[in-house]
Amino acid sequence: MSRQQLTLVVGLLAGLMAGCGGHYILTAPDQMAPAGGDAPVVVRLQRNDFFVLDLAWKDEPITFRIHGGDERNAWTDDLGYAGTLVPAPETPGNYVMSIYYKDPDGEELLGQAPVYVWDPDTPIIAIDVDALPMTDFEGDASDAVEAVTRMAKAANIIYMTRQDVKDHAWVHEILELGGYPSGPVLKWRSQRYGITRDTSGRVPMLKIESRLVSQLGQLKDAFDGLTAGITDNTLSAQAFADVGLSVHMVGWAADPVGVEVSRTSWAELISNPPVKPARRSRRAAAASRRRSATIRRPLPDPSLRPAERPRAERPARPDPRRRLSMRPRSTEQPVRTDKPLRTSERPRHIEQPETRPATDDQRPRPRRRPRRVVRRVVTTRPRPDEADEPELPRRHRIVGVAKGPIDLRELPATPDE
């Protein structure tokens, strides 16, 4: 090998190891959040320094913000993924999330991602995009479009895919061309090979990512209505079952081990969707009609006396049984005593706090209840010298009320009857 060839090889290796002025790649799929809650955000940061090698950029801080709200920061892991919870707006709707990164050399990167803010009580169905037929040649595309469209009227739809996260905009276009309703496209990471760099020498390293995970677990905690998942492969069915979703499989793929699967087809899902709209009870419907009738009722004319008002405007007579069963309410308004009031504003029925703590001598002593003294004449055996005296009968008599200790020997004798 000549000297020029050796110099070229060394230069290529040095450029591969140290970088040759590449660019960053920030991948941010669609995000979801409950109204007034937190959005479980997952993004990925990579850098392209040589040819087609997109190296994962780990241990880097990324800043998130939704619609001018509070900022949140997260660090990337060994494969370049960063995840955190970002506060979402109070009003449901579609918003934009800003993602910011700045490296130690001062290079800045700003990205944006759509955020779907939904009511947490609305039902949600997760559908595997890879299970949707796009043409009738691939499957029953017309039945699938009709089934998903009917589901979208009763619930919100989210699409899960194993495609590259950078192609989520392309997935939106494919769904729109196929006639499917719009919804967020979320990425779950399947088994693949990832390239990262060592911390010490920044040497590219090959790591195997054998996980099929997504933010479904956090979404299940945030949305109580996320209860069902539709797919056509075993790996996705296992992922749905791991987060507690009911699995509905379309096709002939093998069932996951230890997972209860509901076998169905797109034609069956048209008439029997996994989530049906909640029906109101008769009592709730009657209460809604009463509220609407009360709102539409015109206000009474204050110039007319009650006897001159129309019957519809007269106040209803209270039910005597309800009035007797209810406890009377106090009409007195509470008065705050934590702030000193003026002499004219001090109510009489409220005890004003003392300006200084009372000592032991100044504290009022509790009043003692008067005791009722009962005199009891006890008969005993007569002594020999008193045998001639008559025996006194046993009796009780209330003498009076005493305010202190009394010596019974000083009481007057009880006369005999």
Distinct helix (H) and strand (E) counts, the chain: 8, 19
Indicate whether this model's pTM tops 0.85.
no
Closest CA to 165 of 273, 56, 88, 249: 56
Mean pLDDT of 308-332: 49
Q: Residue 259 corresponds to which tokens in the numbers above?
A: 């997972």
CA distances 50 to 13, 16, 47, 203, Å, are: 10, 6, 9, 13
Give Rg (Cα) of the chain: 42
The answer to which of 9-13, 42-46, 79-83, 336-340 has the lowest mean pLDDT is 336-340
At 146 the pLDDT is 92
Tally Cβ neighbours within 10 Å of residue 171.
19
Q: What is the mean pLDDT of residues 113-129?
A: 90
Contact between residue 117 and residue 88 where contact means Cβ atoms under 8 Å apart: yes
Question: What phi-psi label fits residue 93: left (phi over 0), alpha (psi between -120 and 50 degrees) or beta?
Answer: left
For 230-266, how does the pLDDT look when each residue is reduced to its tens digit (9 = 90+)? 998 888 888 888 888 999 988 888 888 788 888 888 8
Burial 228-254 (b: 16+ CB within 10 A, else e): bbbbbbbebbbbbbebebebbbbeebe
Task: Give the burial string for 36-66 (b: 16+ CB within 10 Å, else e).
Answer: ebbbbbbbbbbbebeeeebbbbbebebbbbb
Most confident of 193-202, 255-264, 357-366, 382-391: 255-264
Contacts of 412 (CB under 8 A, 6+ apart): none
Q: What local confidence, expressed as pLDDT, does residue 125 receive?
A: 93
Residue 206 CB coordination number (10 Å)? 8
Token look-up 């005593």 returns: 337
Give the whole-number percent of the chain exceeding pLDDT 70: 52
160/247 Cα distance (integer angstroms) = 14
Q: Domains in the chain, start-ordered, CATH in brackets?
A: 22-119 (2.60.40.10), 120-188+215-277 (3.40.50.1000)
φ, ψ of residue 309 to 5 degrees: the values are -75, 155
pLDDT value for 43: 85
Q: In whole angstroms, give the CA distance from residue 401 to residue 407.
A: 14
For residues 67-89, average pLDDT? 87
Greater pLDDT, 299 or 93: 93
> DSSP secondary-structure letter at 385?
G
Residue 117: per-residue pLDDT: 92
Q: Contact, 14 vs 201, CB < 8 A? A: no
